[in-house]
Amino acid sequence: MKKFALKLWMVLLLSAVVFSGCKKDSDTEDPATGNFTTLKTYMVSNSMDLTDMLKDWIMEAKLTTDGGVVDPTDNSIPTMNVVDIRDAATYAAGHIKGAVNVPLANIIEGTKTMTDKPILVVCATGQIAGVACMALRLSGFTNAKVLKFGMAGWNDQFSAPWVSAGQNAGVGSPNWVTTAAPTNGSYGYPTWTSTSTDGKSILAERVAAVVAAGFSPTAPADVLANPANYTVINYWPESDYTTFGHFAGAYRLNPITLAADEIKGIDPSKTVQLYCYTGMTSSFVSTYLNVLGYNVKSIKFGANAMVHDQLDAAGKTVFHGSKGYTFVTGK
């Protein structure tokens, strides 16, 4: 009997050691990870390439009598969930009737129940709204839009930022040139890992990180002063690149897609400065690229700060003043 008890005890002890050893090995294994390729595959297969995101993403504030959505009786926008992402004090000083104040940092959580109508994101100039709108579109709100020119385009009381932004600083500057674009490089993908392994979860994680980082555009005067200090990408058609000029040394990359790998024209090891005509598209596009793992900043107000009058004469997007719509105050 004693021999049987001893053998049983030895079997139990050996089993415990084996079990303990297996558990230790399992606990120290590296967790499964997802990466850029996982995310790229998911986004392309779910119609989330940049060209998809850019479809009908910005909205001009037109009255319903002019084919728009602004109610002429009270200047509200009843067919949309209007989300104002400015700070609480600025929002209280004047906002669109019916607009809800949701800070950029809370844009996903603060809008998750707004599924009954499309979301219209409003900021001061239409640039920070690009960050929020892209985050929303990548989070399932595919019909989210940006209010063109923001509150500056709504009423003259808010127009100062755009009025002062329309400059011609590039005219006559040796750092604003009309030369042909340099040849784009071809680079590898950004390198990062995620503890999530499925594309949907990785995307949500990446969007949250970009939203948390906020929006920090680059001043156009800084780039113009010494463009050689920056890696600049112009997001225009080729004809406009040479017609209106560009920062000296700026690359031209448009379109930028995942499916056709034009994304490889961006160096993931550099901090890239992206610009367009107004800074609205570049804020929208830079957010997308940052979600993918690039480090891209938008040049504030774009070429409107460089060659405003030339763009205006050619019928390109420039600020022409507000609509003069009414607004409400308070919380």
- The whole-angstrom separation of Cα 194 and Cα 192 is 7
> Higher model confidence: residue 7 or residue 205?
205
For residue 297, the cross-strand partners are: 273
CB 251 within 8 Å of CB 184: yes
CB atoms within 10 A of CB 327: 16
Residue 264 in any domain: the answer is: yes
Place of tokens 């986004």: 43
Residues 133 and 257 in one domain: no
Tokens 């209010």 sit on residue = 147
Q: Is the domain of 186 the same as that of 138?
A: no
Report which secondary-structure segment, H or E, holds 81: strand 81-84
Q: Domain check: are 106 and 229 in the same one?
A: no
- Comparing 18 with 132, the larger pLDDT belongs to 132
Q: How far is 261 from 185, CA to CA, in rounded Å?
A: 12
> Is residue 21 domain-resident?
no
Tokens, residue 296:
């891209």
- Nearest CA-CA partner of 287 in 208, 199, 169, 197: 208
190 and 116, same structural domain?
no
Tell me the residue ranges of DSSP E strands in the chain: 58-59, 81-84, 100-101, 119-122, 145-147, 176-177, 231-234, 246-247, 251-252, 271-275, 295-298
Contact 270, 295 (CB under 8 A): yes
DSSP state of 213: H
Residue 99 lies in a domain: yes
pLDDT, tens digit (0-9, with 9 covering 90-100), for 173-230: 999 999 999 999 999 999 999 989 999 999 999 999 999 999 999 999 999 999 999 9
Contact 42, 206 (CB under 8 A): no
Query: How confident is the model over 154-158, as a mean pLDDT?
Result: 98
Question: What contacts 310, CB < 8 A, 6 or more positions away?
Answer: 168, 171, 244
Residue 301 lies in a domain: yes
3-state secondary structure of 119: strand
Tally the residues of the chain: 331
Q: How many CA atoms lie within 13 A of 180 on its CB side?
A: 3
* Residue type (1 letter), 298: S
Say if residue 240 is in the same domain as residue 145. no
**pLDDT of res. 268:** 98
Count up the domains in the chain and report the number: 2
**Do 205 and 283 sit in the same domain of this protein?**
yes
Residue 33 pLDDT level (bands cut at 50, 70, 90): confident
Which tokens go with 41? Answer: 């595959």
Give the tens place of pLDDT for each residue, 220-274: 999 999 999 999 999 999 999 999 999 999 999 999 999 999 999 999 999 999 9
Q: Which amino acid, 307?
A: V
| pLDDT number for residue 32 | 63
Q: Based on the fold, state whether residues 180 and 308 are members of the same structural domain.
A: yes
Say if residues 86 and 151 touch (Cβ distance below 8 Å): yes
Domain co-membership, 182 together with 152: no
Residue 16 lies in a domain: no
Query: What does the block give as tokens for 227?
Result: 């463009």
Domain containing 56 equals: 36-163
Instruction: Report if residue 104 sits inside a domain.
Output: yes
Task: Give yes or no: residues 80 and 151 share one domain.
Answer: yes
Tell me, yes or no, whether 188 lies in a domain. Answer: yes
Across the strands, what pairs with 246? 177
Same domain? For 227 and 297 the reply is yes
pLDDT averaged over the chain? Answer: 92
Cβ atoms within 10 A of the Cβ of 200, count?
A: 13
Say how far apart CA 130 and CA 59 lie, in whole Å. Answer: 12
Tokens 């030895």 correspond to what residue? Answer: 10
What count of other Cβ atoms lies within 10 Å of the Cβ of residue 216? Answer: 8
